Structure formats: structure tokens, C-alpha cells
């Protein structure tokens, strides 16, 4: 298993954007982090750059633009190893749409992971986001979003933009995972990555594949928050077919990113 695509990473240029919870004792520089991931079989990563600490609105959209530029910088450093994801913000509709246009021109096709809880907003069905998603849909962007808030809001977002592939982050505990599965059954554009909480509950993936097929699950870790090898091994240990494992670990992501 040496072709794994990790759809959910938060890469960093410096400690400021390193989300590792024990970074005061354990910090790898960006090239060491790449080797660390490769040693787990992960040969490609996707995701947004997130800063430690809290965003305050006086920092304006410039705050997100800077994070997005850091993602481009990392893409330069990492070359083909990294697919950048960008931030948008519903309080800055025009700036966000301009940013999508600009980034699309630089080859970027991924928005997120969106993390509203640390960026001062909380409603996936708000008007500002709906307008931004209209633009995202025109540009054929994929949207990765942190699962939170009311189910109805998530549902409205997914149903309102059938042309966008929405990748939910984190299966969560059983109750949340079953809601993901339910959405995947009802909406063809609802996908799920396996990062963060969930995969340590043995049998989760068997159940998900039985219910929703394997075509819309994406491997993910949430590195550097989570230990990447644990996630690779967890998928391999699940009692699903080899074909399903290969699709989840890299095939589905490759199809999505092409």
C-alpha cells in the first residue's frame, strides 16, 4: 500500500500553522512531515492551511487570502505531492468569489476543509455561502467541509448545489456516521472522508460500504493532528474487498482530482 492519497491534511510552512496537539514537544518541518507521511504509504495529500489560534473579524478577508497564499507556497515546495484547498468566508462574498476565480486560474480545484467553528461563522445554509457556492459550482470546485451544526443546514447546502461534490470531513461516532450514510444514499454529490473521529470504531467501513457503496469514501487522516499510519492500517484491517480498499485509499480520490 504505497499509493495512498490523503484527502484531509492541514500542511504547514511553520509552527504557526502546525495543528499538531503536542507541537511544543513534537514538530517536524515541512520536508520531514512529507517523509513522515510517505513512510505511512501516503504519496499525495490534499487540504487547507489553518492557523493556530482564533480568527477575529478585524483581520478581514486578508487573513484567509494569506492562508491561501501559504497553500500555494507549499504547493511550490511540495510539487506534485500536494493539492491545495482554499478558504472562503460567507461574510466576504465578493472577495471569496474573486479568490475562487484567481485560484482556479492557478489550477486549484478544492475549497476547504472549511472550518467555520474557528473562523467565526456557523451556518452552512446562510445566504453568503450560497452565493459563494454558486460561483464554486460554475468553476467546478470540490468542497470539503467540517461536519458541524444542524443537519438541515448541511442538507440545504448539498441539495442546493447538485453540481458540487461535497466531501464531509470526519465520520464521527455512530450517530453522526449514520447521518452521513443517509445523506450519501439520498444525494449523489455527498461524499465522506475518513479523517479524525470514527475509523477506530471497528466495522464502521464495512457498514458504510454495505449501505452506500465504496465509490464515495475518501481516505483521510487530519495530519498532523492524527497519526497517519493508524488510519492506513485501520482501512486495511476492515473486512471489505480489496477493490473497495484500493478505491477508498487512492482510486476514488484520483478519479475526483483528475
Residue 154, Cβ neighbours under 10 Å: how many? Answer: 21
Tell the smallest beta-carbon distance from residue 211 to Zn ion (Å): 24
* The one segment of 61-69, 106-114, 151-159, 174-182 that binds Zn ion by CB under 5 A: 106-114
Cα separation, 213 vs 192, whole angstroms: 12
End-to-end Cα separation, the chain, in angstroms: 21
- Inter-residue long-range contacts of 250-253, CB under 8 Å, 24+ positions, other chains counted: 250/3, 250/4, 250/5, 250/44, 250/219, 252/214, 252/215, 252/216, 252/217, 252/218, 253/5, 253/7, 253/44, 253/46, 253/218, 253/219
| Contact stretch for Zn ion (CB under 5 A) within 60-68, 148-156, 216-224, 227-235 | 216-224
Q: Report if residue 222 touches Zn ion, rule: CB under 5 A.
A: yes
C-beta of 85 vs 251, nearer to Zn ion: 85
**Of residues 113 and 238, the one with the C-beta less far from Zn ion:** 113
Choice between 17 and 222, CB closer to Zn ion: 222
Q: Check: CB of residue 89 under 8 Å from CB of residue 121.
A: yes
State the minimum distance, in angstroms, from the CB of residue 222 to Zn ion.
5
d(CA 249, CA 258): 16
In the complex, least distance from residue 50 CB atom to Zn ion, rounded to whole angstroms: 7
Which is closer to Zn ion, CB of 6 or CB of 113?
Answer: 113
Stretch that binds Zn ion, among 78-86, 105-113, 173-181, 249-257 (CB under 5 A): 105-113
Q: Choose the stretch contacting Zn ion; rule: CB under 5 A; options: 117-125, 197-205, 218-226, 236-244.
A: 218-226
| Comparison of 86 and 97: residue with beta carbon closer to Zn ion | 86
**Beta-strand pair 110-114/142-146:** parallel
Query: How many chain residues interact with Zn ion (CB under 5 A)?
Result: 2
Of the ranges 54-62, 104-112, 221-229, 233-241, which one interacts with Zn ion (CB under 5 A)? 221-229
Residue that is written with C-alpha cell 502546525 in the block? 18
Among all chains, which residue has been given the C-alpha cell 472577495?
A: 95
Q: Does 6 bind Zn ion (CB under 5 A)?
A: no
Query: Which of helix, strand or coil describes residue 214?
Result: coil
> Is residue 193 part of the contact set for Zn ion (CB under 5 A)?
no
Query: Nearest approach, Cβ of 27 to Zn ion (angstroms)?
Result: 18
Helix (H, G, I), strand (E, B) or coil at 35: helix
Residue 49 gets the label, from left (phi > 0), alpha (psi -120 to 50) or beta, of beta
Of 46 and 240, which has the nearer Cβ to Zn ion? 46
- Identify the H or E element spanning 85: strand 82-86
**Which positions from 110 through 169 interact with Zn ion, judged by CB under 5 A?**
113
Specify the residue, 146 or 183, whose C-beta has the smaller distance to Zn ion. 146
Which residues would be at the binding site for Zn ion (CB under 5 A)?
113, 222
Amino acid at each position: 500500500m504505497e499509493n495512498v492519497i490523503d484527502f484531509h491534511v492541514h500542511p504547514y510552512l511553520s509552527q504557526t500553522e502546525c495543528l499538531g496537539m503536542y507541537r511544543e514537544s513534537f514538530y517536524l518541518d515541512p520536508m520531514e512531515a512529507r517523509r513522515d507521511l510517505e513512510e505511512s504509504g501516503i504519496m499525495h495529500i490534499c487540504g487547507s492551511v489553518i492557523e493556530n489560534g482564533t480568527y477575529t473579524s478585524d483581520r478581514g478577508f486578508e487573513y484567509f487570502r494569506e492562508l491561501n497564499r501559504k497553500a500555494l507556497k507549499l504547493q511550490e515546495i511540495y510539487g506534485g505531492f500536494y493539492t491545495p484547498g482554499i478558504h472562503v468566508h460567507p461574510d466576504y462574498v465578493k472577495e471569496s468569489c474573486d479568490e475562487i476565480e484567481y485560484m482556479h486560474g492557478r489550477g486549484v480545484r478544492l475549497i476547504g476543509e472549511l472550518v467555520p467553528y474557528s473562523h467565526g461563522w456557523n451556518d452552512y445554509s446562510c445566504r453568503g455561502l450560497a452565493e459563494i457556492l454558486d460561483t464554486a459550482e460554475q468553476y467546478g470546485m470540490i468542497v470539503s467541509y467540517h461536519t458541524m451544526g444542524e443537519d438541515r443546514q448541511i442538507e440545504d447546502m448539498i441539495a442546493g448545489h447538485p453540481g458540487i461534490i461535497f466531501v464531509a470531513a470526519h465520520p464521527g461516532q455512530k450517530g453522526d456516521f449514520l447521518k452521513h450514510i443517509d445523506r450519501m444514499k439520498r444525494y449523489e454529490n455527498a461524499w465522506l472522508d475518513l479523517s479524525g473521529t470514527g475509523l477506530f470504531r471497528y466495522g464502521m467501513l464495512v457498514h458504510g460500504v454495505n449501505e452506500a457503496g465504496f465509490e464515495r469514501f475518501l481516505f483521510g487522516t487530519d495530519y498532523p493532528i492524527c497519526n497517519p499510519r493508524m488510519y492506513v492500517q485501520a482501512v486495511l484491517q476492515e473486512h471489505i474487498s480489496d477493490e473497495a480498499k484500493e478505491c477508498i485509499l487512492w482510486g476514488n480520490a484520483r478519479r475526483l482530482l483528475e
